[in-house]
Amino acid sequence: MQNFFFHNPTRIIFGRSAVTQIGRETAVFGKRALLVYGKESIKHNGVYKTVINSLGSAGISIIEHGGVRPNPVLQHVRQGVIKAKENKVDVVVAAGGGSVIDSAKAICAGALVDHDVWLFFKGKKGIRKALPLTCVVTLAAAGSEMNGGMVLTNEKTCQKFGTGNKLLHPSASILDPTTTFTVPADYTAYGAVDAMSHVMEFYFTGRELFSPLQDRYSEGLIATIMESSEKALAEPENYEARANLMWGAALALNGIAAAGLGRVEFPMHTIEHSLSALYDVPHGAGLAVILPAWMEYTAMTKPDKFAQFAERVLGVTGGGTHSMAGQGVSRLRRWLEKINCPTRLANLGIPTAAITEIAENALALARLWRLRDYSREKFEAILKLCA
Amino acid sequence: MQNFFFHNPTRIIFGRSAVTQIGRETAVFGKRALLVYGKESIKHNGVYKTVINSLGSAGISIIEHGGVRPNPVLQHVRQGVIKAKENKVDVVVAAGGGSVIDSAKAICAGALVDHDVWLFFKGKKGIRKALPLTCVVTLAAAGSEMNGGMVLTNEKTCQKFGTGNKLLHPSASILDPTTTFTVPADYTAYGAVDAMSHVMEFYFTGRELFSPLQDRYSEGLIATIMESSEKALAEPENYEARANLMWGAALALNGIAAAGLGRVEFPMHTIEHSLSALYDVPHGAGLAVILPAWMEYTAMTKPDKFAQFAERVLGVTGGGTHSMAGQGVSRLRRWLEKINCPTRLANLGIPTAAITEIAENALALARLWRLRDYSREKFEAILKLCA
């Protein structure tokens, strides 16, 4: 096990009717809040009204900043930063999924500096202070509700970059599984793939390739997310399935899975960010295409680990290590197909001719995230396996 | 999944040479520290010197309070409270295992009130404030380094009670597995049993008896603790084994295993506390005796859960549910014998004639911890299975 530092101070309030507590959790930080949210879904499922009422009852005045879109964009965050500054808000409240929470985090950091928020993402400026943030989560996917990371797309430069800081950990996150009952089937599946992929990046790329405690933690999460997403797809209002997905997504990226593994990489996310930046595909859909291709490309370089994954998560038995590793990749691909995820670029409407451009785009983030051993040629080779 | 609140703000600094950071972690709270520790072990293995040097370099003046014994006692804590008050310390530093950390927590709470610290344990007074606490952990066992719980023995009344408060979460805990290289074989095994038993109490008593995410989390921890303790016993300086034990013990009782299970009970700890209170046996040794007996008593009331445990943790296959459940209990008992743990009261030097007295003693804590369905007769029946 490698040396590590672990600190996750986010308060989690989990369960039915938990959304009513957003006012109390937010009021400790002040009386003026910027409320960040997405499009229409939280208005349809009642979350918006509950949040407004709870904040109002706690004596908080609200400045609204709705309209965050999936693959959230820089321009909208910049507008939020202006609103936060003009209204001198004390705290930011995010009500939505990862896109909303990530936008809110960027606003929290941007509101307290004079420079453009994108400089944080380019690594040109460090985050030294941030407004406090509270969240109401409405999608089991990104795990942003329990960490300090954020991802944003610069729509002008077609760059989807991620960065993070301990100051961006939400102070409190409210997770009520019933708020995800109305998530449509495709986004339920994409969310599951997103959550799984976070754990799988760590599991397969950690410097400490075998680590008993972290391996079992990750395998348990992946198996649970897989079985729960199937149940949630069959029965959208199955509370247990939604609850396991929701808490699983948070635990997938709250720091425990990676603690002790040493350096980890995010190659699948790196490629997916380019798909989203250039073609605006849903993040989880892009990951579903990259995941089996990256695994196919990588499995034979670490066959023991892939065989362990195949056996413990997917129930592959018998055969040698290489055979088991290969079977694991095939089974995962079939499972993605079973839950109706895209697994080929064509399913996303992306032509094979675009592979070179995508690989080129991925290089920029690869440099920023210090992905060793990933050249344009390697990205192209993986993308060809998605064709 | 039941509604839950999760918040664990403890900073974990894990790895080789981490002990040198205790000064920096402590200095943020002030310049005067009470240093709580046990007997001689930290002086022999170099931890004491490293702590003293690190605190000194950070400009912290130290008031020493050594001599905490296993099954820590109230009288020694009271002396610590007096020292903390007289010297107006800003912060308490614990260097040791669970007994030391628990004593330090009690001092943190006791130093800021005028009444006796035992009133917290009797449930007569609530904890409203506490001095900050930093820890250097030297034993993989109690998990106290990452939670707000504490256990103390009132040696006059022969009561070993436990209580807790969020204010008692250590601000920072330093876990360097090399500090456990010198832990003798018996205490290495007892520590593993203690850590396992925390997870097993949740796993078998949760109101939410089957919970996919928590079950896999717990099973992974137990399996890792079992395999790592065997390795550590065979090779006391095996870093990986010691590291997995150390982080495993912390993760076992940091709140995740129980989150979402609803009400959980601590029947095994309840009985063990009476063994320790009356006969001063090491906590983990007492648990090793109680664990298989309690399981044997309980298995047929929840055969499905015990069968799942037998299959996933102990590799039992084939046979019906009841048979698998029973085999799991037998295998666990054999494993405890394999790592040279006591599994019978006689191994602890406790006569069968004492069973009634032990059961009577356990009733007091059972009332305090609100154990439903545990009568004196039931405690006696379980204790008879330890004979």
User: B15, A1: Cβ pair inside 8 Å?
Assistant: yes
Tens-place pLDDT, residues B252-282: 999 999 999 999 999 999 999 999 999 999 9
* B260 contacts in chain A (CB < 8 Å): 14, 243, 247
Q: Which of B216, B219, B261 to mutate to test the interface with A (most CBs of A within 10 A)?
A: B216
Over residues A125-132, mean pLDDT = 98
Q: Which of A247, A254, A256 to mutate to test the interface with B (most CBs of B within 10 A)?
A: A247
CA distance B223 to A216: 9
Domain-embedded: residue A6:
no
Residue of B3, B243, B260 lying closest to A18 (CB–CB): B3
* A177 contacts in chain B (CB < 8 Å): 1
Domain-embedded: residue A2:
no
Element at B92 (helix H, strand E): strand B91-96
Indicate which CATH number applies to the domain containing A362.
1.20.1090.10
Domain-embedded: residue A4:
no
Residues B280-298: b if buried by 16+ CB within 10 A, e if exposed: bbbbbbbbbbbbbbbbbbb
Give yes or no: residues B261 and B375 share one domain: yes
Domain-embedded: residue B337:
yes
Q: Give the residue from B164, B179, B194 where a domain finishes.
A: B179
**Global pTM exceeds 0.95:** yes
Whole-angstrom CA distances from B37 to A296, B99, B204, B266, B281 are 53, 9, 34, 27, 20
B111 neighbors B91 (Cβ within 8 angstroms): no
Give yes or no: residues A147 and A194 share one domain: no
- Strands A172-175 and A61-65: what pairing? unpaired
User: A216, B228: Cβ pair inside 8 Å?
Assistant: no
Count CA atoms within 13 Å of residue A142 on its CB side. Answer: 25
Domain-embedded: residue B197:
yes
Q: Give the residue from A123, A144, A179 where a domain finishes.
A: A179
- pLDDT band (50, 70, 90) for residue B40: confident
User: A247, B260: Cβ pair inside 8 Å?
Assistant: yes
Domain-embedded: residue B2:
no
- pLDDT band (50, 70, 90) for residue A40: confident
Q: Which of B213, B215, B239 to mutate to test the interface with A (most CBs of A within 10 A)?
A: B213
Q: Determine the distance in angstroms separating the CA of A300 from the nearest CA of chain B, rounded to an integer.
A: 26
Look at residues B67, B385, B341 and name the one whose alpha carbon lies nearest to residue B187. B341
Residue of B16, B213, B227 lying closest to A212 (CB–CB): B227
Over residues B134-162, mean pLDDT = 96
pLDDT of residue A372: 82
CB pairs under 8 A between A and B: 114
User: A12, B4: Cβ pair inside 8 Å?
Assistant: yes
Over residues A207-215, mean pLDDT = 96
Domain-embedded: residue B5:
no
Element at A326 (helix H, strand E): helix A321-338
- pLDDT band (50, 70, 90) for residue B6: very high
Give yes or no: residues A249 and A330 share one domain: yes
As a 3-state breakdown, chain A gives helix, strand, coil percent values, each rounded to 5, of: 55, 15, 30
CA distance B96 to A282: 50
Q: Tell me which amino acid residue B168 is.
A: L
Give yes or no: residues B216 and B167 share one domain: no
pLDDT of residue B318: 86
A44 neighbors A29 (Cβ within 8 angstroms): no
Give yes or no: residues A149 and A261 share one domain: no
Answer whether residue B334 shows pLDDT above 90: yes
Q: Does B243 touch chain A (CB under 8 A)?
A: yes
Q: Give the residue from B151, B179, B207 where a domain finishes.
A: B179
User: B213, A219: Cβ pair inside 8 Å?
Assistant: no
Over residues B22-50, mean pLDDT = 96
Torsion over CA of B38, B41, B47 and B51, rounded to 10 degrees?
20
Over residues A229-239, mean pLDDT = 98
pLDDT of residue B54: 98
Cα dihedral sign for A4, B42, B178, B140?
negative
Give yes or no: residues B210 and B198 share one domain: yes
User: A7, B2: Cβ pair inside 8 Å?
Assistant: no
Over residues B185-190, mean pLDDT = 98
Give yes or no: residues A82 and A121 share one domain: yes
Give yes or no: residues B231 and B326 share one domain: yes
CB proximity list for A307: less than 8 A, separation 6 or greater: A316, A321, A322, A324, A325, A328
Mean predicted lDDT score pLDDT of chain B: 97
Give yes or no: residues A48 and A88 share one domain: yes
Tens-place pLDDT, residues A58-107: 999 999 999 999 999 999 999 999 999 999 999 999 999 999 999 999 99
Domain-embedded: residue A1:
no
Exposed/middle/buried for residue A160 (C-beta within 10 Å: 0-12, 13-18, 19+) = buried
User: B224, A240: Cβ pair inside 8 Å?
Assistant: no
User: A213, B227: Cβ pair inside 8 Å?
Assistant: no
- pLDDT band (50, 70, 90) for residue B372: confident
Structure tokens that stand for A320 in this block: 């040698």
The parent domain of residue A15 ranges over: 11-179
Return the residue of B nearest to A171 by Cα: B7
Indicate which CATH number applies to the domain containing A134.
3.40.50.1970
Give yes or no: residues A238 and A262 share one domain: yes
For chain B, the domain total comes to 2
- pLDDT band (50, 70, 90) for residue B179: very high
Give yes or no: residues B192 and B307 share one domain: yes
pLDDT of residue A318: 86
Give yes or no: residues B157 and B234 share one domain: no
B residues 74..113 contacting A (CB < 8 A): none
Tens-place pLDDT, residues A316-374: 998 899 999 999 999 999 999 999 999 999 999 999 999 999 999 999 889 988 998 99
Q: What is the CA radius of gyration of chain B?
A: 20
